[in-house]
Amino acid sequence: MDLQWRPCRPRTGLAPHISHAYRYRRTVCTVSPMLSLAACCLLLLYSVRFRSGWSHGNGPRSYPVIGCLVDFYKNRWRLLDWYTELLAASPTQTIVVDRLGARRTVVTANPVNVEHILKSNFGNYPKGKPFTDILGDLLGTGIFNVDGELWYAQRKLVSHEFSARALRELEFAVLEDEARERLVPALGLAAARGDVVDMQDLLRRFSFDVICRVSLGVDPGCLDPALPAPRLAAAFDAAAGIIARRGAAPVAAVWKAKRALDVGSERQLREEIAVIHEAVMDLIHIRKKECGLRVNGGDGRRSDLLSRMIECGYPDEAIRDMVISFIMAGRDTTSSALTWFFWLLTRHRDVEREVLREITGGGASHAAAGGQGKMRALHAALCETMRLYPPVAWDSKHAAAGDVLPDGTRVERGDRVTYFQYGMGRMESIWGADAGEFSLRRWLSIIPEENAAPAPPAAVAGLSPFKYPVFQAGPRTCLGKEMAFVQMKFVASTVLRRFELVPVDEGRVPVFLPLMTAHMGDGLNVTVRSRSGEHVASAASSGN
């Protein structure tokens, strides 16, 4: 068949975003009437579908069948900035993305929509099967990978454990020990030798040690140079990377086929998950024996999360899945935020001096969790860091039923609905004309004064969590947010009090990589300089 194509004017009624319509002149043979009818139906289907997606005239340029695949491909290396630009240009800060091989996706940076999704109509926006399928092999039925009644029951049980004083005291004791015995010596040795240190790698290993000691009651020793790299840490790293690639795959059928055939990365994932499951189940069995010995006259009750769940009588697999979920959630989120925090301070030495004055001016009382809770400048700097570089760049739900968002955007059953933390942190409609700047002022005006009743560390009076959903919001608000702030403030004050970090390439602007947890591309390589008492005072007072 020889088909010749020539452009013509669009017919009335076609979707407004289709810039050209085409018709062909048959020159050699006759096309089947059924084929013509099928083609017309397909064009009509996509015309209606895309017209609904363009009800506000917002979003990437789309075409029948392929959707926005062309623009998506062109911007595949800068998706975060591309989405941010589209959202900023949208009057509603909402766009609809429809492309071949993916679900229809509503992306929003509108706080009113975010509140509707995460709170007002919470029941209609579960994580959904497409999401739980991606994480299910690793997280099982852990709290971060379930919906409905199973989620609610776990949330109620686990929230009690997280509010326990014993667990909070354990976290701070672990932080002090890990910093004193490993983090500070490692940085001190680098300063003495003039070595280059990748702070992102150092902070990730520190965080993994802390989360394992608090969650499992075991010390993997990731920061101990005398110990080999733990197999469990390597398994978590590999599994997280493969899971992230699952989520980023243009067509889910590809990784599902590889899993069914047990080949390539999916075979490696199965092997890494087996290592993780075996290690955690072994610990559960060992800890149960310890609990039995205590019942028969032993002592030394443990406060780690694993032990507390065993004592509450949870089934073994449920304990395994919940503990793995918390390790996955806590291992990289705080280290990601701290990596960007230290980099931003190297770009804003005036902010570093302000934070340093606060840290060194508080005396010994600031070495305690309560004292850290009152560090207004440090708290503001951490909040501002996560506004611009959130540990989780976006979060998606899947609509259980059709809906209409407050801004008028129609949501169809099964649509992926994404609220976009990275883009929200850059919206002038939320933060003003200086949204792209790193500034403590926007936070200091709403954080309570030193002598005022302290607000919860992860909350700021007067700021809607739906404008700043870094820790989610509504019923699924992150249970570990208070512990995360304690850890970040402790590490920040411990490092800044003793060391100055100087980037190896001070002109470099790192790449923000939105994996399961966001990372800094190629790490943060710095040289470390020790601060003597005089240098600390000088640095803190300079610029006054």
Asked if 109 and 405 touch (Cβ cutoff 8 Å), the reply is no
The reported pLDDT for the residue numbered 314 is 83
Looking at residue 515, its pLDDT comes to 85
Q: Please check whether residue 209 is in contact with residue 178, taking contact to mean a CB–CB distance below 8 angstroms.
A: yes
Tell me how far apart the alpha carbons of residues 515 and 504 are, in angstroms, rounded to a whole number.
25
Contact, 139 vs 325, CB < 8 A?
yes
Is 40 annotated as belonging to a binding site?
no
**What whole-number distance in Å separates Cα of residue 108 and Cα of residue 419?**
5
- What tokens appear for 352 in the block? 């570093």
Which domains does the chain possess?
Answer: 101-530 (1.10.630.10)
pLDDT reported for residue 448: 63
What is the reported pLDDT for 45? Answer: 47
Q: What is the pLDDT of residue 300?
A: 59
In whole angstroms, what is the distance from residue 218 CA to residue 233 CA?
12
Question: Phi/psi at 330 (nearest 5 deg)?
Answer: -100, -15
User: Does pTM top 0.75 for this prediction?
Assistant: yes
From first to last of its 544 residues, what are the pLDDT tens digits of the chain?
443 434 444 433 333 333 333 333 333 344 455 555 554 444 444 444 444 434 344 789 888 888 898 888 889 889 999 999 999 999 999 999 998 878 899 999 999 999 999 999 999 999 999 989 999 999 998 888 899 988 998 888 888 877 778 888 999 999 999 999 999 999 999 999 999 999 999 999 999 999 999 999 999 999 988 778 889 999 999 999 999 899 888 778 899 999 999 999 999 999 999 999 999 999 999 998 887 755 544 555 688 889 888 888 888 998 999 999 989 888 889 999 999 999 999 999 999 999 999 999 864 444 444 445 568 999 999 999 999 999 999 999 999 999 999 999 999 999 999 999 999 999 999 999 999 999 999 998 876 665 555 454 444 556 899 999 999 999 999 988 999 999 999 999 999 999 999 999 999 999 999 988 999 999 999 999 999 754 555 555 554 4
Residue 404 DSSP one-character state:
E
DSSP category for residue 163:
T
pLDDT of residue 7: 40
pLDDT of 422 reads 97
Phi/psi for 516 (5° steps) reads -55, -45
Find residue 211's DSSP bridge partners: none
Q: For CA atoms 58, 64, 68, 71, give the dihedral sign.
A: negative
The gap from C-alpha 491 to its chain's centroid, in whole angstroms, comes to: 20
pLDDT at 524: 97
Task: Note the pLDDT of residue 540.
Answer: 52
Q: Residue 422: which of 317, 509, 511, 351 has the closest Cα?
A: 511
8-14 own/partner pairs: CB under 8 Å, 24+ apart: 13/47, 14/47
